[in-house]
Amino acid sequence: MIELKSFFKNLESNDVNFYTGVPDSLLASLSAYMFDNYPANKHIIASNEGASVGLASGYHLATGLIPVVYMQNSGIGNAVNPLLSLADEDVYKIPMILFVGWRGEPGVKDEPQHVKQGKVSKDLFDAMQIPCEVLGTDTKEANKQVGEALRVCKENSSPFVFLVKKGTFETYKLASNEVENNYPEREEAIEKVVEIIEDNSVVVSTTGKISRELFEIREKHNTGHEKDFLTVGSMGHASQIAMGVAMHSNKKVYCFDGDGAIIMHTGSFGIIAAADCKNLKHIVFNNGAHDSVGGQPTVGFDIDFGQIAKGFGYKESFFADSHESLNSILPQFIASEGPSILEIRVKKGARNELGRPTTTPVENKLSLMEFLK
C-alpha cells in the first residue's frame, strides 16, 4: 500500500499544492489526509466532479502550476464536458493529474451500479485521448509514476489520469473535530417519515445509505419494496426521477434526498418548481457529510435548503432538527401543497451492520412499475 506522507511529499516536491474533487470510498484515505493536512485554499471538496475540473483549471490559470483532481469513476460523466471542452490540448491545454477510484474493476466483486462503469472506465479515457494508467500499490513505484505523469502533463499541457484500485492507499481515518449535536439518527428519521406518509405513496430515495436504510426499514416492518425506487447510482438525480414519476402519476411522490446529492445538482430545484408538481414532496436528510464514502464534510450545515428551494419557486418549506420538531412538523409537511421541501438535520454515521438491498435494480424497477399501473 502507498504510504500517504511520502506520496504527498513527492507531490509537493513537484510543485503540486492544490487538490479538489468529490470523495470516493476507494480514495477515502486520500481525501481524509488532504482534509486534515491542507488548509481550505489548498483543498476543496467540490459540488460535483465537473466543478472540480473547473476549479483546477482556474487554479492553473492563476498560478501556472499543476493541480490534482480526485473522484470516483461514477463521476467521469460529470467531468467529460470540462475535460474535453476546457482542459483538452485542442482547446485551452490545461494540465492536471486525476486520481479516479476504480469501482467495479473487472474481476473484483462490487455493487450492480458500479459493474458497468468499472468495465468501461479505461475505455472512456482512451476515447477522450487522455493518458490513463493504473496507479501502483508500492510507494516508490507510485511516486515514480506520478513524477513521469507530471512530466507528460507539463510537456503536453493536458490532463493525465490514474485509476486507483481498492486498497491502494494505506488506511487513514478523518480526524474527528465534530461538534456534538442532538439531531436524530438518520435511520430513525427515515423510519418516522415512512410510518406517517400515505400507504399508497411512492418514495424515490437517493444514492448511498439513505436507500440502504429505507430498504432495511421496509424489511423490518414487512411492508414490501414495491413502492420504493432505490437510486443506487446517479448521485444527485433522485429528485428528477421523482419529478418524472410525479408528473405522470396521481400518487403522492416523496423524494428522500441527501445534502451532498442536492449540492451536486441544485438547479433541479428550479425545474421541479417550474413544473408545479403538486404531488411531489422533497425531503432532505442533512447530516453535513458525504457519509457513504468516508464522512468527509459537505457545506450542508451552512446552507438553508428551504430558503433556496423557495427562491426557486417551491410552495412551502419546513425544517426539523429534533425528534420533537419532526413529530410536530411532519403532519403539516404532508398536508402541504407540492412542490414543498422538508429539511431534517440528522446525525452523521450509520449502523455498522447496515445491509444492502437484496433485490436487483431491475427487480426494483419492475415491481415499482407494476405498483404504478
3-state secondary structure of 24: coil
What is the pTM assigned to this prediction? 0.91
Q: What is the mean pLDDT of residues 356-372?
A: 94
Question: What is the biggest distance separating any 2 CA atoms in the chain, rounded to whole angstroms?
Answer: 62
**Structural domain range at position 366:** 186-372
| C-alpha span between 214 and 255 (Å, rounded) | 12
Residue 308 domain flag: yes
At 177, the pLDDT band (50, 70, 90 cuts) reads low
C-alpha cell at 176: 474527528
Out of 134, 164, 194, pick the residue that ends a domain.
164
Residue 169 domain flag: no
Q: What is the mean pLDDT of residues 164-172?
A: 95
Q: Are residues 214 and 280 in the same domain?
A: yes
Cβ atoms of 235 and 184 closer than 8 Å: no
Reference 256, options 292, 212, 220, 289; nearest CA is: 212
Provide the mean pLDDT of the chain.
Answer: 94
Per-residue pLDDT, 233: 85
Out of 164, 195, 228, pick the residue that ends a domain.
164
Q: Are residues 54 and 124 in the same domain?
A: yes
| C-alpha span between 98 and 158 (Å, rounded) | 11
Q: Are residues 275 and 318 in the same domain?
A: yes
Q: Are residues 56 and 138 in the same domain?
A: yes
At 290, the pLDDT band (50, 70, 90 cuts) reads confident
| C-alpha span between 121 and 63 (Å, rounded) | 30
Residue 171 domain flag: no
Per-residue pLDDT, 110: 87
Q: How far, in whole angstroms, is CA 76 from its chain's centroid?
A: 12
Helices 238-247 and 268-275, axial angle in degrees (round to 10)? 10
Reference 49, options 32, 70, 34; nearest CA is: 70
Q: Are residues 149 and 38 in the same domain?
A: yes
CATH of the domain at 240: 3.40.50.970
To which residue does cell 516508490 refer? 140
Q: Are residues 140 and 212 in the same domain?
A: no
Per-position DSSP letters for 191-209, written without gaps between them? HHHHHHS-TT-EEEE-TTH
Per-position DSSP letters for 300-364, written without gaps between them? GGG--HHHHHHHHT-SEEEEE-SHHHHHHHHHHHHHSPSSEEEEEE--S---TT----SS-HHHH
C-alpha cell at 345: 438535520
Residue 53 domain flag: yes
Cβ atoms of 102 and 74 closer than 8 Å: no
Residue 180 domain flag: no
Omega before 67 cis (within 30°)? no
At 176, the pLDDT band (50, 70, 90 cuts) reads low
Q: What is the mean pLDDT of residues 77-88?
A: 96
Q: Are residues 216 and 88 in the same domain?
A: no
Checking if the pLDDT of 231 tops 80, the result is yes
Reference 326, options 185, 217, 223; nearest CA is: 185
Q: Are residues 205 and 285 in the same domain?
A: yes
Residue 92 domain flag: yes
Q: How far, in whole angstroms, is CA 319 from its chain's centroid?
A: 23
Per-residue pLDDT, 349: 85
Rounded percentage of the chain residues whose pLDDT exceeds 90: 86
At 178, the pLDDT band (50, 70, 90 cuts) reads low
- Candidate from 13-17, 166-170, 172-176, 181-185 with smallest mean pLDDT: 172-176
Reference 291, options 229, 347, 343, 246; nearest CA is: 347
Residue 255 domain flag: yes
Q: What is the mean pLDDT of residues 41-50?
A: 95
Checking if the pLDDT of 20 tops 80, the result is yes
Count, in order, helices (H) and strands (E) of the chain: 14, 14
Query: What total of structural domains would you count in the chain?
Result: 2
Q: What is the mean pLDDT of residues 201-217?
A: 95
The H or E element containing residue 211 is helix 209-221
Q: Are residues 55 and 150 in the same domain?
A: yes
> CA 335, 336, 337: angle at the middle one, nearest 5?
125
* CA distance from start to end of the chain: 52
Per-residue pLDDT, 52: 97
| C-alpha span between 31 and 16 (Å, rounded) | 15
Q: Are residues 193 and 72 in the same domain?
A: no
Return all residues near 276 (Cβ < 8 A) that are at least 6 apart.
339
pLDDT in tens, 317-350: 999 999 999 999 999 999 999 999 999 999 988 8
pLDDT in tens, 107-117: 998 888 888 99
Residue 120 domain flag: yes
Per-residue pLDDT, 232: 87
